[in-house]
Structure 1
């Protein structure tokens, strides 16, 4: 279970990074606080962490802190929607909702402090619900969670239907997670009422509800970070592809730079970190393409022999590579350009990627020949 802590931690770190870039964004700040509350509450549901907290702060402390954090989680989630949609009206309602969540938190804290310490030391399954304070502790928190999560699920579903992929996919994941959490809280509230009145509830059912709530939290966290994570993955793939293509173009670039050093553009940054930054990688990639293309324009008159200039357009990459190597040697001897420039290694369409692939094919041919 400790492995799943990586997902909440990654979600919190990503949103904190976004908040540093937009510190005055109220909806984003609400999301950060929501995820932080959720991330802190999740370890307290594990026996190892809960036992450590109880040992330091007393029996039942982990349970109380976990429930207060869950209350804050759903409150800040509501604030996100209120700040996003309703402006000043939403801010006023957020303040009213803050009063409600504080009252609920104080009420369950009082309930937790007025019972013998061992009463809350165990789990929801083992707790003695015939004690009124224990039943109120679980039931009061559960009912508020059900209300807030249900409202959030409704709003999330509404926005998911209005959005497009990939944002819609993440919103649907979050809506399902929120809805499942609300259902789990409703079932827990019903279980509390049954056990408080003296009835019995099968343990497998209670264990299943607990697992449902934990998995729902993970699904919610995955949903709110889905679009951002997908964008980061796409950016990383583009970064890797540009780095790889930049290296593959080296043989062609080095050959052409030997003949036309004046076409080599001055680097925009000489810092060591720029070598790995995304902006630096993309800049060097596009600069290398421009340098290769400019040099090919300059060298093309030498390749277009007096006999048939159009034949140069149909040369295979290996043949063009061989002619380029030979022509660079001729240029070194000062031979004049025999005719006007012609396009070399051009793609058939206007696709930028296909055009780069033509250059890479010639560069690979040069590497193979070497």
Structure 2
């Protein structure tokens, strides 16, 4: 149980820090503000339930103060969760009006639980829900008001979550359905506890297993809610990491083509980053910037050399595995012709034009050409090495003969 609490607390802190960072950049985003306050309230309610925090609150406000403060933040959590849907589903003005209306049941619940805590001061031992004496009307009123408000707010949030889940694509819908399952579990546990409170209030006996069962539902539902809330964001982050890893690979594979064109047209180089070479690997956001810059410089170089490519019998436009080697030969010949000072009788022509639109499709064409240039430069070296090995073998045979 302690390990689970630490895991849940860590996830709360990380998720809350991520949302606070987003909220700082967009302070006027009402739905984002509601989510941030919801997570902050949840983290506070969870943290204040820990023994050290509860002991500190008890020393200041009495035996019932920790329960009141913890539940107050739990009420705030579900209130801001409702507000998130209200802000998201309607226009800002209407969302603010409906959110203000929801402050009425929240305020009445806080007032009622506060008065019940004060009234039960002489009979409250500060025990948990399992051990508290529900025959004390003030304590029974406290738990009944708290559970009824949670059932009301969680049910409203559950209906909004299901509506959004049915209309959302994956992976957002998966996360929303997980959140809906968690909300339904917590609402059901709160309804069970409200019924058990009434039974115990009237002197009825309740099996301990039933009370523990409702507590186990909440213990499972809270981590499930966190997983559902973080699932779409985590999947999106993984997709971004995968895309940047691919672009980092493309960036390096473009080097043969880029170095050849950069040597011919150094004036086409864009603003260079003064960071160290390994900065590309250390700073993920720099990957995209380096990737775009290298692709643009390669394309500018090909446009500049394209009039000399037009002198070939068949200029390669859209690349394939076979035509990439042909265009690599034409490119090297064109650069040599330009270096010799020959004039190009043709205008610019399209070179390695992708069939699909988008920068990534263009880069795939450039990468095929760059790979062909790499093969072109490596084959002569391999051939020279093979010739040296053959000469060595022939010399060895002649000595043996």
TM-score normalised according to structure 1 size: 0.80
Alignment match of 2:252 (pick from 239, 247, 252): 247
Greater relative contact order structure (CA < 8 Å, 6+ sep): 1
Offset from partner CA, 1:154-206 (integer Å, 9 cap, x none): 23323433444444444333333322221111011112222333333333332
Q: CA deviation at 1:32?
A: 1.7
Residue number in structure 2 paired with 1:136:
141
Residue number in structure 1 paired with 2:57:
57
Q: Structure 2: how far apart are the matches of 1:27 and 1:345?
A: 46
Contact 2:305 2:335 in 1 (8 A): no
Q: Structure 2: how far apart are the matches of 1:117 and 1:204?
A: 25
Q: CA deviation at 1:39?
A: 1.9
After superposition, where does 1:148-163 map in structure 2 within 5 Å?
148-163=153-168
Q: Structure 1: how far apart are the matches of 2:22 and 2:162?
A: 24
- Alignment of 1:16 with 2:20, yes or no, is yes
* Pairs aligned (count): 363
Contact 1:60 1:117 in 2 (8 A): no
- Alignment of 1:177 with 2:176, yes or no, is no
Q: Structure 1: how far apart are the matches of 2:341 and 2:28?
A: 64
Q: Structure 1: how far apart are the matches of 2:343 and 2:132?
A: 91
Q: Structure 1: how far apart are the matches of 2:241 and 2:110?
A: 43
Offset from partner CA, 1:202-260 (integer Å, 9 cap, x none): 33332232232233333334444444444444333333332332122122211221122
Residue 158 and residue 322 in structure 1: after superposition, are their counterparts in 2 closer, same or farther (change >3 A)? closer
Question: Aligned with 2:125: secondary structure?
Answer: helix
After superposition, where does 1:1-370 map in structure 2 within 5 Å?
1=4, 2-45=6-49, 49=50, 51-58=51-58, 59-84=63-88, 85=90, 91-113=96-118, 114-115=120-121, 119-121=125-127, 123-267=128-272, 280-299=286-305, 308-309=313-314, 316=322, 319=325, 323=329, 327=333, 330=336, 334=340, 336=342, 340=346, 344-347=351-354, 349-350=356-357, 352-367=359-374, 369=378
Q: CA deviation at 1:152?
A: 1.8
CA RMSD between the two structures: 3.7
Residue 27 and residue 349 in structure 1: after superposition, are their counterparts in 2 closer, same or farther (change >3 A)? closer
What runs of 5+ residues in structure 2 fail to find an aligned partner? 382-401
Q: CA deviation at 1:89?
A: 5.7
Q: CA deviation at 1:36?
A: 1.0
Contact 2:32 2:84 in 1 (8 A): yes
TM-score normalised according to structure 2 size: 0.75
Query: Which region of structure 1 is more displaced relative to structure 2, 124-133 or 84-93?
Result: 84-93
Q: Structure 2: how far apart are the matches of 1:311 and 1:228?
A: 43
